Amino acid sequence: MKDVNIIVLDFGSQYTQLIARRLREDKVYCEVLPYHTKIDAIKAKNPKGIILSGGPSSVYNKDAYEVDQGVYALGIPVLGICYGMQRIAVDFGGSVIRSDHHEYGKAELTIDMTQHSVLFEGCEDERTVWMSHSDKVDVLPEGFVPIAYSPNSPYAAIANEEKMVYAMQYHPEVNHSEEGYLMLRNFARKICGITEKWDMGHFLKEQIVKIRAQVGEGKVLCALSGGVDSSVVAALLYEAIGDQLIPVFVDNGLLRKGERESVENIFKVHLKVPLVVADASEIFLGKLAGVTDPETKRKIIGHTFIEVFEAEAKKHDGIKFLAQGTLYPDVIESVSVNGPSVTIKSHHNVGGLPDWMDFELIEPLRDLFKDEVRKLGLELGLPDSLVNRHPFPGPGLGIRIMGEVNKPDLNLLREADAILLDELKASGYYTKTWQAFAVLLNVKSVGVMGDNRTYDNTVCVRVVEAVDGMTATFAHLPHTLLERISRRIINEVDGINRVVYDISSKPPATIEWE
């Protein structure tokens, strides 16, 4: 078992993942575990520091979340954030009360420079931080002193230097907290004494050894979608076990222009991976004929993929393992305070598996965030065009055509979408935005081209800015760029005479239209 530099005990905060991300950005290896993790399991990971996250509960609730008290006896530094601070205050004999004035949002933090806390080394004495609490520490535990305060929190940060226990009422992990990243770095580097730097080069070497030990002489089946996660999984496995990997790429006929050729070129030519390509476009389009309901389309595409994948898998003997692109946020959600039990989720690679596939799972990316997966892809030699591509939905263009999916409409949409992406890349806006695509509305309108009347299709252009896709705002593209995109689509794609731009944000709208 790999030693963990920092363990974050999750009490259910919406920001817990951010704590881990901030530390990993500073090359400090950390893991998130449920708050109720037993002390023996924590000891087994040999951490150099513990962070107690925030959470929605109150320490005085009847069923308040508690930490194994053995954590405080490990003799290593502990940092509490928000609920974690209140947990520390009560556990060490202090008290917490309901605040008269709840603090949600930005607050002015003043650091008590007379205390000379290493936690704030290099920080300005006045900073804006992000508060989100309704309880606050009322009486400090013995041995603790205040090291920072805000207008509504005389104990915005506290410390017991002798016991190496620190706590903050605010959230240093969010971007709104100025120099919060530096406070977390000080905790890890200066207080916990972590000097080693974890990066994708180390991760790659560790995973190759681990995969080889797990697989032995067995074969591994991997569904390759052409997306970032599955591509990195396939490249990593091939690096580790070579021809014992059976990567299967299913062409469902719903891909973007040139996508199949691009995937084949990257894996067959560039990486020398013996990719198995299953052309099932006619099967998919046959089952989608006449179907207009978006959810029905999604289910048909998912079920058909399983059928095609099953047929391909049965052509190969000796398969013992199935590779999946599970990422760390999925793992955290599955073991969090209110998270679901661990299952093979429908959004991973193959969209759910039939019962006969009794394989052992290999999930080499389960310790990584999305940005780390991209770095690993570059480490493996995957091209930047693949590693940093925009998200693409599993059902593909099937949910970007309003109504029935057919070949003529797919061809129209492919051409329009290719022009959009081409212009965004040429202008530099592709790398500045989260996702961009065209939607065929199947709404016709009157137009004039030359001296002739037209009655053709309308395409909607959707370009959004986001951090993680959970929320999004439409991109404020220059009017000259929008005009160029519109002009090219109308002039170059026969059958389209009108282009509109989607200016709705998520929420209330979703990023995809279906």
- pLDDT tens-digit profile of 405-418? 999 999 999 999 99
Backbone angles phi, psi at 130, to 5 degrees: -105, 115
- Asked if residue 229 belongs to a known ligand binding site, the reply is yes
Neighbours of 446 (CB within 10 A): 10
Query: For the segment 480-513, what is each residue's pLDDT rounded down to a tens digit?
Result: 999 999 999 999 999 999 999 999 998 888 899 9
Catalytic-labelled residue, pool 31, 123, 133, 171:
171
**For the residues 389-394, what does the mean pLDDT come to?**
85
**For the residues 251-272, what does the mean pLDDT come to?**
89
- Asked if residue 230 belongs to a known ligand binding site, the reply is yes
Q: How far apart are CA 316 and CA 310, in angstroms?
A: 11
Q: How confident is the model at residue 341 (pLDDT cuts 50, 70, 90)?
A: very low
Contact 207, 364 (CB under 8 A): yes
Helix axes 228-241, 200-215, angle to 10 degrees: 60
- Asked if residue 228 belongs to a known ligand binding site, the reply is yes
Total number of residues shown for the chain: 514
**For the residues 447-458, what does the mean pLDDT come to?**
78
Task: Among 43-52, 285-294, 362-371, name the one with the lowest average pLDDT.
Answer: 362-371
Q: How far apart are CA 209 and CA 63, in angstroms?
A: 43
Q: Is 82 a catalytic residue?
A: yes
Catalytic-labelled residue, pool 82, 123, 222, 460:
82
**For the residues 311-327, what does the mean pLDDT come to?**
84
Q: Which domains does the chain have, with CATH numbers?
A: 6-191 (3.40.50.880), 200-387 (3.40.50.620), 406-501 (3.30.300.10)
- Asked if residue 227 belongs to a known ligand binding site, the reply is yes
Query: For the segment 204-216, what is each residue's pLDDT rounded down to a tens digit?
Result: 988 999 999 999 9
Query: For the segment 20-40, what is each residue's pLDDT rounded down to a tens digit?
Result: 888 988 999 988 899 999 999
pLDDT of 468 strictly over 80: no
Whole-number pLDDT of residue 346: 33
- Asked if residue 486 belongs to a known ligand binding site, the reply is no
Tokens of 31: 């893991």
Contact 257, 418 (CB under 8 A): yes
**For the residues 97-109, what does the mean pLDDT come to?**
73
Local structure of 389: helix, strand or coil:
coil
pLDDT of 335 strictly over 70: no
**For the residues 56-84, what does the mean pLDDT come to?**
91
pLDDT, the chain, mean: 87
Considering only residues 224 and 468, tell me which one the structure prediction assigns the higher pLDDT: 224
Whole-number pLDDT of residue 311: 85
Whole-number pLDDT of residue 349: 39
**For the residues 45-51, what does the mean pLDDT come to?**
96
Tokens of 423: 């212009």
Whole-number pLDDT of residue 347: 36
Q: Is 171 a catalytic residue?
A: yes
**For the residues 256-279, what does the mean pLDDT come to?**
89
- CA-closest candidate to residue 163, choices 42, 71, 281, 58: 71
- CA-closest candidate to residue 332, choices 51, 48, 80, 15: 15
Q: How confident is the model at residue 184 (pLDDT cuts 50, 70, 90)?
A: very high
Whole-number pLDDT of residue 333: 55
pLDDT of 127 strictly over 80: yes
Catalytic-labelled residue, pool 173, 239, 312, 379:
173
Whole-number pLDDT of residue 103: 59
Whole-number pLDDT of residue 403: 93
